[in-house]
Amino acid sequence: MLTFAIAILFLVGTPGPGVLSLAGVGAAYGYRDGLRYMVGLFLGNLGVALAVLSGLAAVMFAVPGLRTVLAAASALYLLWLAYKIAFAGARVAFIERPAPPGILGGITLQAINPKAYAVNTAIFANFAFMPESPGTEAFIKLLIFNPIWIAIHCVWLWLGITIQRLDLPERTQRAINIGMALAMLGVVVLAAFTATR
């Protein structure tokens, strides 16, 4: 189970659309709106987990061409996001929106987030410790997964708020933007790898 928990830390903690957008909402709107958005991300991720566990995601992706279309659309979205972050200039960018996205925005993002599907598939399809009782195993995995998920997202929300409050030099802010953009490109590679499996 320790290996399972460590895998969750690495899979969920790495930058992706959910955590980067959460940091951006926190930076732009503060804790209250950030927490509301995080609730939406959590509910959306829980929906993705249930789709993976029930096999619904597998059925959807079994439709000829649908997996390719969704993977391409997600990759294009993530590339666009990486571009916007990298070329945001000297201001730490994260993701800018005219109004906080709220709970529905978080749910919607997770529904199209390729990283959410990749992470949930990796978590629930691997690390078997109760092969004789897959339902109980899935329940225990959810009990371990969700608190770690929440803690990691709280850290990203805090980071977004904290970085915006710092008076960082322009060069440092540009470096942060480029680093986040490269992280998003890594998510595109992960999504492309997952789509070809």
List all residues 6 or more positions away from 96 whose beta carbon is below 8 Å from its beta carbon.
Answer: 24, 28
CA 110-156-17 angle, to 5 degrees, is 30
Alpha carbon distance 117, 162 (integer Å): 29
- What is the reported pLDDT for 140? 92
Q: What pLDDT score was predicted for residue 100?
A: 74
**What are the structure tokens assigned to 71, written together?**
């993977």
Q: What's the pLDDT score for residue 84?
A: 65
**Helix-helix angle 114-125:31-54, to 10 degrees:** 50
* Structural domain boundaries enclosing 185: 2-195
Task: Check residue 156 and give its pLDDT.
Answer: 92
Q: Which pLDDT does position 67 carry in this prediction? A: 67
Give the pLDDT of residue 77: 66
The tokens of 84 are what?
A: 């916007």
pLDDT in tens, the chain (197 residues): 778 888 888 888 877 788 888 887 787 778 899 999 999 999 999 999 999 888 877 676 677 777 677 667 666 766 776 676 666 554 555 555 566 788 998 898 888 887 888 888 888 888 888 888 888 988 999 999 999 999 999 999 998 888 777 777 878 877 877 777 777 677 667 656 655 55
Q: Is 39 exposed, middle or buried (0-12, 13-18, 19+ CB in 10 A)?
A: middle
Number of domains in the chain: 1
Q: Which pLDDT score is estimated for 70?
A: 65
Residues 6+ apart with CB under 8 A from 123: 4, 7, 8, 11, 49, 141, 145
- CB count within 10 Å of CB 120 equals 25
Q: HEC profile for 132-178?
A: CCHHHHHHHHHHHHHHHHHHHHHHHHHHHHHHHHCCCCHHHHHHHHH
Looking at residue 32, its pLDDT comes to 92
